[in-house]
Structure 1
């Protein structure tokens, strides 16, 4: 019996399309930095929690950067997403605010071109620029997203004198479809810095450094970690404070800012690794550096002035005899409304 084997061959094809993230052609984000300078608040009544300055500043820095988008042929719109590492603040007036320090929150709007030409509040999630032309995939195209935007300010609480910040407010990523994950490298990064000055001001020690001299100490007297040298008497000193636009009988507080020792967070680090400095109130309660709850409350007199008494003493941080020679430590005294 003869058999005939017939081989059927079927040829099939399909058109594959793919899309991916956009990335800066340089391999690194384009950096935009905007310094708005100083905003001076002249009305003392505005120095309070909840004061809002919408569109306080607009930046237009110029500068563009080549971007390559991964896809199969061409794409139309770019979908922008922003991220930030700043702590989230409150939401209000259609804006999401982020905390930049103890007194200020900021909200930003980034300019989106394409066919929109609008300022869009951040954060963005796959927000389309609704572009009406089709650039080629995998080919560098110049972008400028991040070069222009608006900044709004919000006071979270009253403060004295001035407050400043410098922070990366957002990073911008791009994709060619709304469902693609963002890539590992941002297209651009926007950082902002500035200062806010209020009428209420206090000057400590007439603006001069408060110097506390411990005199000559014996290295051998530093015997026990966390303790003063044997026989040491605390050094007491007064800190005069002169305030303007504050008024009489105003409740204020003093805190201390400094680098603490690794071993004892309540002690200020010195340039001798075996020695730290502790600062206390007049009753001997330690002021812990950088702790907003470790305070000395005080009240201004009829002229808006006050005087605070502090004590200081060195401690051993290691229990080892420190190397001989002069040691120094530096701290900042800070005054706030109580």
Structure 2
């Protein structure tokens, strides 16, 4: 019997696995109790030369209120993290690079300037360009921000978002005082990452940023070249001046012009008015021209009408005369005396005084 020797060859299979790199953990961070409100208030005066379409003007003298906030991130307790910041805005783009539409006259560019180690966080922030704040946060370092970190090892209060830089762009010139009501201009958001890889798509809200204030643009207007407008109502026969609330019988009102020059306002959206304020009035439409010596009762008044516009009577308290949109022109007026008490009046002179001021609305 032959012995057969069988040689068995075996293959040794080697399974080689390439270990995938550890993926950075990341998530969102928010203010405890919800986003805090930071409100920047300001009052700026601009020159007429600044009030030109396309001009860029930095906000000055702003003050911010709002306090601080505690931050909590959805990372496991005792995790060491980097903090990232981003910003959004509810304002629509103005079409001019980096600026949003604040109102019909102004565009606005907002930059958050107090992110630690970062000079400027633009608003809005590109989704692929959040910024990493300075510092590394971990409970073991007594600056933890993760949910579940012990209270005595947590970071203190944050104020990031309370300092901003504002640049205005004039889209349409305006005059007078513009009031800017409290307007939500930006929201600061934050996220965490366990490595230097930036967080993406996980940001949560920390603070809402508001702007409120006023901007005043003066406008130089000349009324009657700066001279006093004198209207001589003439001599009146007392016997024809007896009906209460009426002008003398047969009296022809005296016509005169109020000339004004406010420069070229054709590009201004605002409406300009001349405001009439009587020095002494008995009612809205009657300027006191004389008071009786015996009892100080007004007996002679003056009324004034704008014959450029339907012969309307002009009040002597907050009386408004609309100026031409060009800013240059005149209003044709007429004035006449009225008997305020009825019956024949004592002879003697009378006069009334009113002030004309240009106002912008």
Could you tell me the TM-score, scaled by structure 2's length?
Answer: 0.49
Write out aligned runs for 1:136-215 (5 A).
136-138=145-147, 139=149, 141=155, 142-166=157-181, 167-177=183-193, 178-182=198-202, 186-200=205-219
- Note if 1:66 corresponds to 2:85: no
Identify if the C-alpha distance between structure 1 residues 300 and 21 changes in structure 2 by more than 3 Å, giving closer, same or farther. closer
Task: Give the Cα–Cα distance (whole angstroms) in 1 for the partners of residues 110 and 187 of structure 2.
Answer: 12
- Note if 1:122 corresponds to 2:123: yes
- Note if 1:103 corresponds to 2:105: yes
- Note if 1:33 corresponds to 2:39: yes
Tell me the secondary structure at the aligned position of residue 49 of structure 2: helix
Task: Give the Cα–Cα distance (whole angstroms) in 2 for the partners of residues 156 and 250 of structure 1.
Answer: 15
Identify if the C-alpha distance between structure 1 residues 100 and 254 changes in structure 2 by more than 3 Å, giving closer, same or farther. closer
Q: CA RMSD in A?
A: 3.9
**1:192, distance to aligned residue in structure 2 (A):** 0.7
Task: Give the Cα–Cα distance (whole angstroms) in 2 for the partners of residues 158 and 97 of structure 1.
Answer: 17
**1:254, distance to aligned residue in structure 2 (A):** 7.1
Task: Give the Cα–Cα distance (whole angstroms) in 2 for the partners of residues 107 and 60 of structure 1.
Answer: 17
Whether contact under 8 Å (1:253, 1:297) holds in the other structure is no
Identify if the C-alpha distance between structure 1 residues 110 and 165 changes in structure 2 by more than 3 Å, giving closer, same or farther. same
Task: Give the Cα–Cα distance (whole angstroms) in 1 for the partners of residues 216 and 171 of structure 2.
Answer: 15
Identify if the C-alpha distance between structure 1 residues 117 and 253 changes in structure 2 by more than 3 Å, giving closer, same or farther. closer
The structure having more radius of gyration, on CA atoms, is 2
**1:180, distance to aligned residue in structure 2 (A):** 3.8
- Note if 1:83 corresponds to 2:88: yes
Whether contact under 8 Å (2:44, 2:61) holds in the other structure is no
Give CA deviations for 1:103-149 in whole Å, capped at 9, x if unaligned. 111212112343x1523332224221132443352146432111112
Write out aligned runs for 1:1-338 (5 A).
18-26=25-33, 28-36=34-42, 38-42=43-47, 44-54=48-58, 56-57=60-61, 59=63, 61=65, 63-72=67-76, 73-91=78-96, 96-114=98-116, 116-124=117-125, 125=127, 126-134=130-138, 135-138=144-147, 139=149, 141=155, 142-166=157-181, 167-177=183-193, 178-182=198-202, 186-200=205-219, 246-247=262-263, 251=266, 298-301=325-328
Structure 1: runs of 5+ lacking an equivalent: 1-14, 203-239, 256-281, 284-295, 308-333
Tell me the secondary structure at the aligned position of residue 56 of structure 1: coil
Tell me the secondary structure at the aligned position of residue 88 of structure 1: coil
Identify if the C-alpha distance between structure 1 residues 112 and 39 changes in structure 2 by more than 3 Å, giving closer, same or farther. closer
**1:181, distance to aligned residue in structure 2 (A):** 2.4
Task: Give the Cα–Cα distance (whole angstroms) in 2 for the partners of residues 168 and 33 of structure 1.
Answer: 9
**Structure 1 stretch displaced more, 53-62 or 103-112:** 53-62
Task: Give the Cα–Cα distance (whole angstroms) in 2 for the partners of residues 168 and 113 of structure 1.
Answer: 20
Q: Could you list the runs of 4 or more consecutive aligned residues of structure 1 that deviate by over 6 angstroms after TM superposition? A: 240-244, 252-255
Structure 2: runs of 5+ lacking an equivalent: 1-21, 139-143, 222-256, 272-308, 311-322, 333-358
Identify if the C-alpha distance between structure 1 residues 66 and 20 changes in structure 2 by more than 3 Å, giving closer, same or farther. same
Task: Give the Cα–Cα distance (whole angstroms) in 2 for the partners of residues 121 and 146 of structure 1.
Answer: 12
Identify if the C-alpha distance between structure 1 residues 117 and 81 changes in structure 2 by more than 3 Å, giving closer, same or farther. closer
Structure with the higher fraction of residues in strand conformation: 1
Task: Give the Cα–Cα distance (whole angstroms) in 1 for the partners of residues 174 and 136 of structure 2.
Answer: 49
**1:298, distance to aligned residue in structure 2 (A):** 3.9
